Amino acid sequence: MGGGAQVNGAQDRGSPAVSPAARGAATEGLNTWCAISVGALEHNVAQLRGRLPGGCRLAAVVKSNAYGHGMVDCARHFLRAGADWLVVNGLYEAQRLRRHGIEAPVYVCGPVAPGQAGLAASTGARVALYDADTARALDRAARQTGTTIRVHVKLETGMHRQGLELRPALDLARLVEALPGLRLEGLTSHMADMDEIGPGSAAQAQTERFAAGLSAFRQAGHVVEVAHLASSGGALRLAGIPGTLVRTGIAAYGLWPSAAVARGVGGAAKLRPALSWHCRVAQVKEVPAGAAVGYGGTYVAPAATRLAILPVGYGEGYPRSLSGCGEVVIEGRRWPVRGRVCMNMTIVEVAGDHAPAAGAVATLIGGPPGGERVGADEVAQRAGTINYEVTTRIHPDVPRLMAWPDGRLTWAEANSPDHAAGAPPPLELGDSAT
C-alpha cells in the first residue's frame, strides 16, 4: 500500500484548529510536539461507522502507539466516539491500556509467545491463534488463574503472513474446543491489497477464501461469534467482505490506506488527518556563498543565504531520506531541507525577506486549515515510504498534545514520564483565551 501525495490535500480540513496564541502559550517550553485533533479522531470514527452494515462492530487499531498518535488518549477518544473494540499488536500494549483503566475488549493481532500466556490471562485480551503450543500455554495460564481466554483462529487466505491453511486451522479449532481454559470466539484473516476489488482481484480471492473458511468452521460445529477480515481499505470500500467486526487503523487517524482506495471510495467518506507535528526553530544564521551544509557537506550554498536549524532529526522520527528533498512550513511558507537530516537536527534554508527568526514554529507535518500545509502523504512520497510509516515512527518521546474543538491544548495522558516531569503543570497547557 502506498499513500499518494494529493490524497489528503484534497479532502482534509487541515490541522487542529488551535489558535497561534494558544499554541504559543501551551508549547513555550517544548522544542517539538505533535498536536492530535480530538475532533478529527471522533469524526473519522463516525465516518467509518457510517460505512458499516448494521450490527458490524468497529475495532480501532491502536497498535504501535496508535500509529504514532499516542495510544492511550486515542483509545479513549475512539471508544468515546463509538468504537467497540481496540486492536493492539502485542500483549504489553494490552497491559498498558489496562493500566490506564481502559476496560474495553482488546484483541491482540500480533504474535503471542507461549511465555506470555500469563499476560493474556491477566489482561483478558483476545488473542490471534495459529499454533498448538501457544494454545496449550494459554489454556494452562487460564486454568491457573481461573479465567477463560478467548481466541481467534487466524486463517491463511492469501497474504501469507500469520495464519493457517483451512485444514490445520480446523484441527487447531478442535484442539481449542477440547481445552477448558480456552474459548473459540473468532475467526480472522487479513487483507493484503484493497487497491483493486471486483472479479479476478486478490481482494476478491481472499474474501472468497475467508467466506469458505467461515462456513467450514460452522459446518464443523464451531460457533464463530466474531469474524473479521477487513481493515481500513475493506471497511471504506464496502467490498462485500464477510465479517461481524472490522479492524480499522489508518483511516481512524484520518489518512487513506492508499491513493487507489481513496479514489475507489470517491468522496463517499471524508477523513480528517488527526496529527500535526511541529518544532521551534532553534537558531537562524547567515552563511556565505560556498558554505557546505551539514554532514558530508552534501549541499553547498550557491550564494550567501540564511539557514534555520530545527531541533528534530531521524532520532525523533523525521525521515533521513528527506535529506535534500523535504519541505517544512514556517509562518505560512514552505522552506526546503538542505543537506542531510541529522539524528536530532535538520537544516532548512530560509532565505529572502520575511524569513522566520529563532523561536518560530516550524510544521513538519500538517498546517493550519486552509493554509500552506505538508501532509503525511506528501512527506511519505518525498521520503519514499508510506503515510503509515511516517506517523508511526515519530518517537514516543515527542510530546503529544490533544487539540480540542474549542481550541484548548492539553497534555496527552500517556506522554513519556520524563516530558511530563518537565512539562507545565497540570494536564491543561493552554486555551484559546490566552
Ligand X SMILES: Cc1ncc(COP(=O)(O)O)c(C=O)c1O
Q: Min. distance of Cβ 251 from ligand X in angstroms?
A: 6
Find the binding residues for ligand X in span 51-80 (CB under 6 A).
61
- Is 270 catalytic? The answer is no
Which residues, 6+ apart, have CB-to-CB distance to 404 below 8 Å?
38, 39, 410
Residue of 92, 270, 285, 295 with catalytic role: 295
Shorter beta-carbon distance to ligand X: residue 188 or 346? 188
Which of 70, 181, 257, 356 lies at the binding interface for ligand X (CB under 6 A)? 257
Nearer to ligand X, 107 or 404 (CB): 107
Q: Quote the cell numbers at residue 35.
A: 498536536
**Which residue intervals of 146-239 are DSSP H helices?**
166-178, 202-219, 232-237
Contacts of residue 102, Cβ cutoff 8 Å, sequence gap at least 6: 72, 75, 76, 79, 86
Q: Which is nearer to ligand X, 231 or 410 (CB)?
A: 231
Largest CA distance in the chain: 78
Question: 91 or 251, CB closer to ligand X?
Answer: 251
In angstroms, give the least distance from the CB of 99 to ligand X.
23
Q: Is 190 in the site for ligand X (CB under 6 A)?
A: yes
**What letter does residue 424 receive in the DSSP assignment?**
P
241: left (phi over 0), alpha (psi -120 to 50) or beta: beta
Burial of 308 (0-12, 13-18, 19+ CB in 10 A): buried
Min. distance of Cβ 80 from ligand X in angstroms? 20
Q: At what angle do helices 132-145 and 166-178 cross, to 10 degrees?
A: 20
Nearest of 411, 398, 254 to residue 318 by alpha carbon: 398
Q: Which is nearer to ligand X, 217 or 253 (CB)?
A: 253
What are the grid coordinates assigned to 342, written together?
541529522
CA distance from start to end of the chain: 43
Q: Supply the minimum distance, in Å, between the C-beta of residue 255 and ligand X.
A: 9
Tell me the DSSP string of 77-96.
Answer: HHHHTT--EEEESSHHHHHH
Closest contact distance (angstroms) between CB of 391 and ligand X is 11
> Residue 417: is the preceding peptide bond cis (ω within 30°)?
no
Which cell numbers in the block locate residue 404? 480540542
Can 295 be counted among the known catalytic residues?
A: yes
Q: How is residue 321 annotated by DSSP? A: G
Instruction: Answer yes or no: are the C-beta atoms of 173 and 151 closer than 8 Å.
Output: no
The three cell numbers of residue 368 are 493550519
CB of 149 to ligand X, least distance (A): 19
**Nearest residue to the partner ligand X, using Cβ:** 249
> What does the DSSP 8-state code read for residue 155?
B
Residue whose CB is less far from ligand X, 349 or 389: 389
CB atoms within 10 A of CB 5: 17
Number of residues that bind ligand X (CB under 6 A): 12
CA 300 to mean position of chain CA atoms: 37
Instruction: Name the minimum Å distance from CB 77 to ligand X.
Output: 17
Minimum CB separation of residue 392 from ligand X in Å reads 9
* Distance separating alpha carbons of residues 237 and 235, to the nearest angstrom: 6
Q: Give, as ranges, the residues between 361 and 380 that touch ligand X (CB under 6 A).
A: none
Of 63, 154, 253, 318, the catalytic one is 63
Site for ligand X in 281-340 (CB under 6 A): none
Give the separation between CA 235 and CA 153, rounded to whole angstroms: 21
Q: Hey, which residues between 90 and 129 contact ligand X (CB under 6 A)?
A: 109
Pick between residue 253 and residue 404 the one whose CB is nearest to ligand X.
253
Which CB, 79 or 109, lies closer to ligand X? 109
Cell numbers at 72, concatenated: 492511550
Q: By rule CB under 6 A, what string of x and - marks binding of each residue 212-251 to ligand X?
A: -------------------xxx-------------xxxxx
Instruction: List residues with catalytic annotation.
Output: 63, 295
- List residues binding ligand X (CB under 6 A): 61, 109, 190, 231-233, 247-251, 257
